[in-house]
Amino acid sequence: MKTTYISIILLLAGLLYAGCKKIDNYDAPNSGIYGNLTDAENGDPMVLPQGVGQIRMLEVNKKYPLGASPIGLNVNSSSAYYATQLFADQYLVFPLAQSGPFIYPSNDSVLVTLHPGKMAQVNFQVIPFYRITASVQDTTVTYTITSSDANTALGAKLTNIYVMINADSSLTMSTAGNLPGTYYANRFPISGVSNTLLGVPQTFTIPFSTTHLAPGTYYFRVSCTGSKSSSQYNYSKVIESTVN
């Protein structure tokens, strides 16, 4: 009886081992995807801070029509995105609406086939709500904001403009969140904002003493939003400048 019991235990252990071994034989996902976001109106790379904007992927699997959970890929500060370790399959890929300060004019997904061990390139053209150019001399920031044709067609109104300074180059509305009145003020709102400012160079001098920073090298940036921007902010490029 005891021998029979031991034999059954060994048999079950063998089956369990074989089952686990079979599961472990599946190949790990080794496909990938990458691409860039460019301005559909002028062909320039989009100006986006790190993590603003997302590419959404939906796996198309005939065996499971409802598909797997959506995959979200963040866009980096170079307006690029990428992902590895994906299963080889077909995917619907598209920029996620309202995930960044842009309009996706195509408003459609792209069907992409990922092959084992290979990377697929998929680029997207989007349109920023606003474009901002800026330059800095000491603590004086000169900037010009223009509205894209698509944003203008929506009847958008410019509502908020901020000038930012920080010792860290990752300048966003979050990382430079101290408004005037706080000890380390690093984000300064512009007053009198309206569409009359569009296309006209503007100048703002940061009251440097209110930042409680010592003279040295810092990073500057301008951001803005409008009535049709879904609470998203467009940004100028980050500018490095020395404050005397």
What CA–CA distance (Å, rounded) separates 176 from 89? 41
Higher local confidence (pLDDT), 63 or 121: 121
Q: In what order do the strands lie in the sheet with 71-74?
A: 71-74, 54-60, 90-95, 110-113
**Where do the domains of the chain lie?**
31-127, 129-243
Residue 5 pLDDT > 70: no
| Predicted pLDDT of residue 98 | 85
The pLDDT of residue 56 is 96
Instruction: Please tell me the CATH code under which domain 129-243 is placed.
Output: 2.60.40.2060
pLDDT above 50 for 15: no
The CA-based angle 234-74-53, given to 5 degrees, is 25
Q: In this structure, what token pair is assigned to residue 170? A: 């990752």
Q: What's the confidence (pLDDT) of residue 207? A: 96
Q: What is the mean pLDDT of residues 57-74?
A: 80
Rounded to a whole number of angstroms, the CA Rg of the chain reads 26
pLDDT at 62 over 70: no
If 0-12 CB within 10 Å is exposed, 13-18 middle and 19+ buried, where does residue 208 land?
middle
Average pLDDT on 140-152 reads 97
Structure token pair of residue 36:
């860039």
- Residues 166-215 have pLDDT tens digits of 999 989 998 999 999 999 999 999 999 999 999 999 999 999 999 999 99
Find tokens 């301005």 and name the residue: 39
Question: What is the signed CA dihedral for 5, 6, 8, 14, rounded to 10 degrees?
Answer: 170
Q: Do domains 31-127 and 129-243 have the same CATH topology?
A: yes
Give helix then strand counts, H and E, for the chain.
Answer: 2, 17
Handedness of CA 171, 172, 177, 179 (dihedral sign): positive
Top CATH class of 31-127 equals mainly beta
Banded pLDDT at 11 (limits 50, 70, 90): very low
DSSP E strands in 29-68: the ranges are 31-39, 54-60
Q: Band the pLDDT of 66: cuts 50, 70, 90.
A: low
pLDDT for residue 150 is more than 70 = yes
Total residue length of the chain: 244
Residue 101 burial class via C-beta count within 10 angstroms: exposed 0-12, middle 13-18, buried 19 and up: buried
The reported pLDDT for the residue numbered 26 is 62
CA separation for the pair 126, 107 (Å, rounded): 10
With a CB cutoff of 8 Å and minimum separation 6, the contacts of 217 are: 240, 241, 242, 243
Averaged pLDDT for residues 113-135: 97
How far apart (Å, rounded) are the C-alpha atoms in residues 218 and 215? 9
